[in-house]
């Protein structure tokens, strides 16, 4: 779509930043669109960790990866992204992507929870390499999404060394989704 949606812009902007052989994390695998994008970006020597709390999302992402022939380079984890540092172990990612809200095509009542989201984003920031990128797509128009989006913005502005931009749509009737993109400096 033009102008691009935040989810599309995320991929356009990260594409030239992720190098072959990198490690990247999709903290909300969902239907696997971002996981497939990251798996393509890191190339065959790279690795991706994709996490989702819903089995339906893990299954959907697995199928999408298999169709794309990319299953081998992705470790899928069924669990909560607030544990992402433990799941990543020694690996330090160049990029971490969060796409908040509910699983499209799934139960719209199962949404990301602010407390877990903040814990996960704090952990993500800790393990990112210097110069690495954190991308968060926020949905302030969803129930509870406005408070979550505001809390995420507040958290990111509390980080010591960051360079952050916010890109969003303009909607008529409700707050529109936006992308927060941060580079970790220092």
Give dist(CA 64, CA 37) in Å, integer: 11
CB 69, min distance to ligand SAM, A: 18
In b/e form, how buried is each residue of 113-137, taking b as 16+ CB within 10 angstroms?
A: bbeebbbbbebbbebbeeebbbbbb
Cα distances (angstroms) measured from residue 12 to each of 45, 64, 69, 150: 21, 20, 22, 24
Of all residues in this chain, which one has the CB nearest to ligand SAM in the complex?
30
Residues that bind ligand SAM (CB under 6 A): 28, 30-34, 51-54, 57, 80-81, 99, 101, 103, 110, 112, 116
| Between 69 and 186, CB nearer to ligand SAM | 69
CB 11, min distance to ligand SAM, A: 9
| Between 144 and 162, CB nearer to ligand SAM | 144
- Count how many Cα atoms sit within 13 Å of the Cα of residue 129 in the half-sphere of its side chain: 14
DSSP annotation of 72 reads G
Listed in sequence order, the residues at least 6 apart from 111 whose beta carbon sits closer than 8 Å to its beta carbon are: 100, 101, 102, 142, 143, 144, 145
User: Based on the number of CB atoms within 10 Å of its own CB, is 59 exposed (0-12), middle (13-18) or buried (19 or more)?
Assistant: middle
CB 92, min distance to ligand SAM, A: 20
| Between 63 and 185, CB nearer to ligand SAM | 63
CB 1, min distance to ligand SAM, A: 15
| Between 33 and 184, CB nearer to ligand SAM | 33
| Between 72 and 107, CB nearer to ligand SAM | 107
CB 161, min distance to ligand SAM, A: 26
């Amino acid at each position: 779509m033009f102008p691009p949606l935040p989810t599309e812009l995320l991929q356009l902007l990260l594409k030239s930043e992720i190098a072959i052989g990198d490690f990247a994390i999709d903290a909300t695998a969902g239907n696997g669109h971002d996981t497939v994008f990251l798996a393509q970006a890191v190339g065959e020597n790279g690795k991706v960790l994709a996490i989702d709390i819903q089995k339906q999302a893990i299954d959907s992402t697995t199928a999408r990866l298999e169709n794309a022939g990319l299953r081998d380079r992705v470790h899928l984890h069924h669990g909560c992204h607030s544990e992402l540092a433990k799941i990543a172990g020694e690996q330090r990612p160049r990029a971490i992507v969060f796409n908040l809200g509910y699983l499209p095509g799934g139960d719209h009542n199962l949404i990301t929870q602010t407390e877990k989201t903040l814990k996960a984003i704090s952990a993500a920031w800790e393990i990112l390499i210097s110069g690495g990128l954190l991308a968060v797509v926020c949905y302030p128009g969803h129930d509870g999404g406005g408070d979550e989006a505001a809390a995420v913005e507040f958290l990111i502005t509390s980080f010591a060394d960051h360079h952050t931009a916010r890109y969003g749509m303009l909607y008529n009737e409700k707050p529109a989704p936006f992308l927060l993109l941060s580079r970790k400096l220092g």
